[in-house]
Structures are given as structure tokens and as C-alpha cells.
A and B are shown apart, each in its own frame.
Chain A
Amino acid sequence: MKTVNQKAWFFVLPVLVLVAFNALIPMMTVVNYSVQETFGNNIFLWEGLTWFQQLLTEERFYKALGRQFMFTGLILVIEVPLGIAIALSMPRQGIWVPVCLVLMALPMLIPWNVVGAMWNIFTLPDIGLMGYFLNSVLGISYDMTQDPIAAWVTIITMDVWHWTSLVVLLAYAGLVSIPDAYYQAAKIDGASNWSVFRFIQLPKMKPVLTIAILLRFMDSFNIYTEPFVLTGGGPGNSTTLLSIDLVKRALGQFDLGPAAAMSLIYFAITLLVSWLFYTLMTKDDLN
């Protein structure tokens, strides 16, 4: 006879407490702000869904959202294929393996604001290595503080430089776990290199690539530090991504209510896209 009782709840209690303090309570505070107006001094006025309505009808928000999707889309389109290509061309054994792995990991070890500062200096037209080279040696007019396109090229390049390694390392881990027999069987079956990639390597990399894309999506969708340090959202508002816009509202304009409403919508979008993507990618595995 099995004893039925409620003891199991005690075992999940530590997790509940942890989640409460690091997610639920801060989140509820934001919810609290999002339905009220405050001018400081702990005075709150009930506003209901006003901030949400205001935000969702506002051009500024949709522009920032559009820029955010463009940024994330571009870096995914570049980083995922590039990461796979680099992983494919890395040696699978020998003394160069650790060398390659360390080289790949290096950009990820640099603090985010340092990355922003590095690229800022790197691209300065008068003294930066890249800025000077483009302007004075190649004669290409390039100034990311003036030209929105140059600013976009710079933040995309910076993110690719900083984060492609993550895709590389995950894809590489997927590749090295493929047993030799697969390649041998493919040889015997007369498969072309493309077929080997399409029918062996890509399917075997799929689980790690799903995680890689998910991580890159979430990270890039919430990116703040690097573009803030590099462009500050400018020139004009051309690189004002969602997070930069959010901080401008909350700390620049001190519009805590609308900022809270925006962060909730922001969070919902991130969650929804991640969930949709993950569900679609893993639905085959469940059957």
C-alpha cells in the first residue's frame, strides 16, 4: 500500500523560495508599477491599463521594436551559419584542438562594457585602427557617430565578433559527438559532402543548435550594454534598441509606470518567441 501524503511539497520549497525572491517578487513589483502613476515620495495613483494602451499605440515603441527584431534577425542570420562553418572547419583531433577552442572562447570572456569600449575606440575615424584604416587608407567614408548605416554595421560586427564563438563551440560539441561510423557509412553509401552535412552533421547538431539559437535570440533581444557603450542608441535614435529605449524611459524620463508596462510587454515578447521557437524545433523529437 502506498502512503499518500503531501510531504513532497517540502522538497520543492527551497526552489519556490528561490524563485519567489529572484523572479516573482521583482516581477510583481514591476506589475505594480505598470498600473500606477508615481512621482516619487511613495505616492501612487491607480491608472489601470493606461500605460499599456499608450505604449501599444505609440510609434516610438514600434520603431524600437522593429529595430530590435532587425538587430536580432541580422545577427542570427550571420552568426548561426558562420558559427557552423567555423565549427566544420575546425580540427577534430590533434594539438590544434585546444588552441582553436581557447581562441574561440576568448571574445566571450571579455566583459560586455569593455567590448563596447574596445569597439568604440577601434572605430574612431581619427585614431581607431579600423576607423582610420577605412577612412584614410581605403578612402571609405565611415563614421558611426554620424552615419546610421555605419552605426548599424558596427553594432552588428561587434556582436558577431563577440558571440559567434558561442554558436561555434556548441556546434563543435555536436560535431565531435558524431561517431566515425556515420562518416564511414556515408562514404560507403557514396554520399556527397553536402549530403553528409545535410543528413548526418546537421541532424546531429540540431539539439545543440536549437539551444545556441535560443540563447543567441534571448541574449541579443535583451542586449543593452554593448550598443549603449558603443553608440548610446545614436546617431539620433537609429540604434535605439528596446532595452536602450526602456532605460531612457525609466531613468532618463523617470516614467516609471510606462517603463514598467513596457518591460512587461518586452518580457512577454521574448518569452513568446522563445517558447514558439523551442516548441517548433523540438516537436519532432517528442513523437
Chain B
Amino acid sequence: MAKITLSNLRHSYYPSPSEPSDYALKEIDLDWNDGGAYALLGPSGCGKSTLLNIISGLLVPSEGRILFDDKDVTALPPDQRNIAQVFQFPVIYDTMTVYDNLAFPLRNRGRDEATVKTRVTAIAEMLELTDMLDHKAAGLSPDNKQKISMGRGLVREDVNVVMFDEPLTVIDPHLKWKLRSKLKELHQRIKATMIYVTHDQTEALTFADQVVVMQDGEVVQIGTPVELFERPAHTFVGHFIGSPGMNVLPCDLRDGQAYFGEHQVALEGAVVGTPNGKTEIGVRPEFVTLATSGLPATVSKVSDIGRHTVVECDADGSKISAIVDGAGPEKGAAVFLHFQQNQTRLYVDGWIATQAEEAQS
């Protein structure tokens, strides 16, 4: 087990990258603490698999270093890094039994059969694979195959980090939930660092203590699920996490006050520095309420999402969503919107630019 440090990491799939857009990963500095459960969240193509493959050693980064417990492993091949990786599609060795599959990484490293037996039995027990040990791995269901992939990673007692690359893609929905809680349980038991790559926010938020959100090869925010939800550091995080995503409205800044159209919007706190660039207001639909006064808007769509109703409104050419309890207003109704002040923030060029007021919470 180890702490993993990524230092000044950059990667490009081109042989001689010149522009920033040539890089699949742009300047990553990141520490993964020993024993943490991390999720790497981002849309397809944001560089999360690239990052994962660099940590596992399947890819050598163009620039920068990877340290495991302050030991430079940048040049080490995957088998010498003591890592485990579970892929999107279950990888199993078809011709072997489940037992031999689990024993494979140990036997490749020349462990004696007694050790192999102890470890394999223990891991099989943990993953509930004990009754299948004698079966050929080829005939198993996808979720059991995926458990074997996991088991092959966990079977080595010295594993530094276990990485999951969208491991639940091919699993049936009702088993997804089961396997996810199994993962969480495994993490508590073996305390290995785990990194879970996904583009599914539910998976990320339920699995991880810390979520790393990536976009276009950059880390935009690292935080607990609550932090990401409550205080997105970037409009992208606001958009990507939450359903529906955060409302992002164009605004003007006059004398330190934000104006949406001609309507002044109260922000959570003082604006940081002198903003220079595109200014936007961000507020989550959960903190938009229908009021008797405030921003005038017209209801354009009402969707019932079970416990709540999502009311989509038009105001001054922008769409604003609000989540309200109970039945919403009729389509076409004129309403007034109120933004909860301590949840209304200013973003400049996408990045958060207001200070949270200590007193408010």
C-alpha cells in the first residue's frame, strides 16, 4: 500500500506535441493518500483512462513523474508496480479454472503453492467465489467474471493500488448495486488505495470519499461528494454533477454587484479580485424557489421526477430550472424566481469567484 504522487504530469499521444490541445493530459499534480477511496469522474474523452493507464504503467507519460511512497516508478513496467487494474470488460483466462485464474498473478511471481492456496482461498471467500473455485472461468456470468478480475488484483498481499476502469459497464443493473456495495465493503476490509474511473456520477458519489472531476485533460475539482455538490469550483462540475445540473446564467458586474439582465442577483459573498473575463451566475435548481417577488420568468416545461417536480422557466432568454416540492405551476404560467443567497455564486471564465461568507451556512 502506498501514497501515490503525480508530479507535473503531462501526456500527449502525439510524438512532438506543440499546442496545449495536443495534450490528452495537461499538467496534473495530484496526491492520492494511502488507503483512500477515490473516484475519477469525467465525460468520455476527458483523459481519465489515460491517467489511470499512466498510474498502472501501461502508458509512460510524456512529461512528469509518478511516485509510490516517494519512490519514482515512472519507468517501471506494470508488473513491478504492484498494482491491480479491473477493466471495463471482464478479463479472465478462459481455459483456467477460477482457482487458477486467481492464482495466476502469484504463480507468475514464483510464490510457493501453500502461499497461493492461502491467499486464493481468502480472496475467494471475500468475493463469495468459494463454490466456484473448481469451475472453468469461461462459463461464468459477467458479474462473477468481473469479481475474478478484481480477485486477481487483490490476491497479491502487497498491492499498492487497485484501479477500476468503468468496471460496471457490462453488469446488469440489479447486480451493479450489489457489486458496488461489495467494492465499498472490500475497501473497508483491505484498506488499499482504490481509484474508480467512471462517467456515472451515482457510481462516483456512492463509492468514493474523494472525487476527482476531470475535463479536457485537466482536474477541475477534488472534493468529497458533498463539496462537489454544494460548492462546485467550476461551472463544469456544477453541470456534470447533479440532475438537472446547476443553472449557469450570463451576468454583468457593476460596482461589485451581479446583474442578470436588469435584475440584481445577491451573491453568497464578496467577489474575489477584479474579474476579467466571461462572468456567469451559478445556482443549483435545488436552491431556486418560486416566490411572490424576484426574477420574473415564464414556465416552459414541468417534469415530475417522483418526489420532486422540475420546473423549467424562461427568463430573459435563459433557461432556469427549479426543483420544487409537490406539483408545480402550469406550463406558460408567469412566476417569480428566488435564488437562495448563500448558494448563489459568481463564476469567471468558468471558475468560482466569490467567497463564502463564514456567517452564512
Contacts and interface: CB of A to CB of B under 8 A. Distances in A.
Given A187-B77, A199-B93, A192 B87 contact: no
A189 B104 contact: yes
Interface stretch (B12-20, B78-86, B227-235): B78-86
Contact of A190 (B79, B96, B149): B79
Instruction: Output the residue of B56, B105, B136 with the most chain A CB within 10 A.
Output: B105
Contacts of A182: 91
Given A190-B79, A192-B108, A185 B149 contact: yes
* Chain A: number of interface residues, binned into ranges: 10 to 19
A195 B96 CA distance: 12
B89 interface: yes
B139 A189 contact: no
A188 interface: yes
B142 to A, nearest CB: 14
A184 B53 CA distance: 9
Contact of A188 (B83, B88, B89): B83
A187 B89 contact: no
Contacts of B78: 184, 187-188
Nearest to B84: A188
Contact of B108 (A181, A189, A204, A284): A189
Interface in B70-102: 77-79, 83-85, 87-89, 91, 93-96
Contacts of A191: 104, 108
Interface residues on B, range: 20 to 34
B88 A181 contact: yes
A182 B95 CA distance: 14
Nearest to A191: B108
Contacts of A94: none
B96 A199 contact: yes
A184 B57 CA distance: 10
B96 A188 contact: no
B104 A181 contact: no
B87 A203 contact: no
Contacts of B109: 190
A190 B108 contact: yes
Contact of A185 (B53, B85, B94): B85
A175 to B, nearest CB: 15
Contacts of A200: 93
A181 B92 CA distance: 10
Contacts, number: 58
B89 A179 contact: yes
B132 interface: no
A231 to B, nearest CB: 42
B65 interface: no
A253 interface: no
A177 interface: no
A204 B91 CA distance: 12
Contact of B139 (A181, A190, A287): A287
A164 B287 CA distance: 71
Contacts of A199: 93, 95-96, 104
B10 interface: no
A195 B107 CA distance: 11
B94 A203 contact: yes
Nearest to B155: A189
A179 B88 CA distance: 11
Nearest to B100: A199
B58 interface: yes
A94 to B, nearest CB: 14
B152 interface: yes
Contacts of A192: 108
Contact of A181 (B87, B93, B96, B105): B87
Contacts of B152: 185, 189
A101 B310 CA distance: 57
Given A187-B58, A189-B108, A189-B152, A181 B91 contact: yes
Interface in A181-223: 181-182, 184-185, 187-192, 195, 199-200, 203-204
A252 B94 CA distance: 53
6 contacts: A182-B91, A185-B87, A188-B83, A189-B152, A192-B108, A199-B104
Interface of B: 53, 56-58, 77-79, 83-85, 87-89, 91, 93-96, 104-105, 108-109, 136, 139, 149, 152-153
Q: Which 3 A-B pairs have the closest CB atoms?
A: A190-B79, A181-B87, A190-B108
